[in-house]
Structure 1
Amino acid sequence: MENVEKAETKSKRFLSWTCVVYPGESLPEKWKEILGELMIPWAISPVHDQDVNANGEKKKAHRHLLLSFHSVKAYAQVEEITKLLGAPAPQPCRDTRGMVRYFLHLDNPEKAQYKREDIECGGGFDLENALKATATEEEEILDEMCEFIETNWVTEFCDFNSYVRKERKEWRTILRKNCFYLTQIIKSQRHYKEQEDARQQNANRKI
């Protein structure tokens, strides 16, 4: 059955392909230059150096590379490229978004989690679109943002916007889609704090 699947993979053409590369070993130092010369949209995962096998043994440090072509490519065409990168066995990728999420193990909480900012991409690869949140995920992120605002007593939108741009870039899209809602929460919190401060000052005067 495995041989049949391999034969089918080599006979079909796909838009996106993926492979595993090993930095510091088979991956050439100038791998970015190689991809740049070929003008291929690409994205590569953070270094997966905390993954373990089923028996608990630590896996060799590696990265997942995604090649997203402008037109479908056959196995042999892609293999010519991956051989240059020290990864001679490319695999078709039928779900680009799912693959990019796997870079971070977003849907595998039992596995080591990696940081979004450690993903690298080039050749015009649209990382923002690939990691676009679902409606459910947007609601969860919005709840997380509200929790941050309330816990940290954020009272100015400009401060929160600056924090998101510098520290939580994965929140940017949700922030911009929900500016009015978040602004009202921040204004309400500022108003509440002002009232509390006034009450405290009055209480101190009476003492």
Structure 2
Amino acid sequence: MNMKNEIDWSIPRKNINPKTKQPYKRGRNWTIVVYLDSSPEDWENIVKQEPAVISPLHDKDITEDGERKKPHYHIILSYKGNKSFEQIDEIARLLHAPIPQRINSLTGAVRYLTHMDNPEKHQYDSSDIRAYGGFDVDSALSLSTGDKRQMLREMIDFIKDNEIIHLVDFTNYCLSDNAPAGWFEILTERNTLFLKEYIKSNWQKYKSREEIK
């Protein structure tokens, strides 16, 4: 059955992060996956209007069950200012794509275009990456100071919201598949002492609250 005829792409979709079940906040960097069996013929012309980078065709990806995934492209959109989920979803619907996702690590997302950090996956040719709208791939591969600060803020929010009181627990999370790309690198690159002290303060605050009870 043709997927194009099953979905009304004119209908805006609900802003829900499938991992956290919470709405996406506004952000500068977003990703969209375009599948060849559902995308319109002019999908790349739509992408060209944005500051975007397109991966090589992912046609050799394998599922955990050993089955070949549907051929698709990964698209990264990177803006100078924050964009809402609704603004990016409008583009995704023009591409007949699944709901977009906000990117926590621009560098990690660009490296994933060819599976640079995933040797267990098929390695795609970086020469097949296409960039539009002034997207600088080389610069994206190096985290800016702003990106690092934003990522550190998100890590602090996670520690606070989840009442993390042990560095080992946070480290294990950063190493897990559930953690946003780049968190372990930020943790271990000159930020360990700061995060350790922040978690310690969080533990002291939690302990004081328990003692009052």
- TM bucket (normalised to shorter chain) is 0.5 to 0.7
Which residue of structure 1 aligns with residue 176 of structure 2? none
Match of 1:6 among 16, 21, 25: 21
Provide the rounded CA distance (Å) in 1 between the counterparts of 2:137 and 2:80: 16
Give 1 or 2 for the bigger CA radius of gyration.
1
Matched, 1:126 2:136: yes
1:19 to 32, 56, 67: 32
Task: Indicate if the aligned counterparts of 2:56 and 2:114 stay in contact, CA closer than 8 A.
Answer: yes
Matched, 1:35 2:39: no
Q: 1:7-56: per-residue Cα shift (whole Å, max 9, x none)?
A: 331xx101011011012x222222232233xx421001111111111111
One-letter code of the match for 2:28? L
User: Greater helix percent: which structure?
Assistant: 1
Which residue identity is paired with 1:20? Answer: V
Deviations 1:70-121 (A, max 9, x none): 2101111110111001114000011111111001111010110000011111
- Partner SS, residue 69 of structure 1: strand
Q: 2: CA distance between counterparts of 1:3 and 1:101?
A: 22
Q: Which residue of 2 aligns with 1:48?
A: 58
- 1:48 maps to amino acid: H
TM-score, scaled to structure 1 = 0.57
CA RMSD in angstroms, aligned pairs only: 2.2
- 8 Å Cα contact 2:17/2:23 also seen in 1: no
Which whole-Å CA distance do the structure 2 matches of 1:116 and 1:60 have between them? Answer: 20
Partner of 1:87 in structure 2? Answer: 97
Unpaired stretches in structure 2, ≥5 consecutive residues: 1-15, 144-213
Instruction: Classify 1:117/1:4 alpha carbon distance in 2 versus 1 (closer, same or farther; 3 Å).
Output: closer
| CA distance, structure 2, for counterparts of residue 35 and residue 102 of structure 1 | 19
1-side partners of 2:117 and 2:137: how far apart? 17
Task: Give, in angstroms, the shift of residue 2 of structure 1.
Answer: 7.0
- Match of 1:109, as an amino acid? P
For these two proteins, the number of residue pairs brought into alignment is 128
The CA distance in 2 between the partners of 1:103 and 1:110, in whole Å, is 14
TM-score, with length taken from structure 2: 0.55
Whether 1:71 aligns to 2:81 is: yes
Partner-residue secondary structure (3-state), 1:124: coil
How many angstroms does 1:5 deviate by? 2.3
Contact kept, 8 Å, 2:51 with 2:135, in 1: the verdict is: yes
Q: Are the structure 2 counterparts of residues 35 and 49 from structure 1 closer, same or farther at C-alpha, using a change threshold of 3 Å? A: closer
- Counterpart of 1:116 in structure 2 is 126
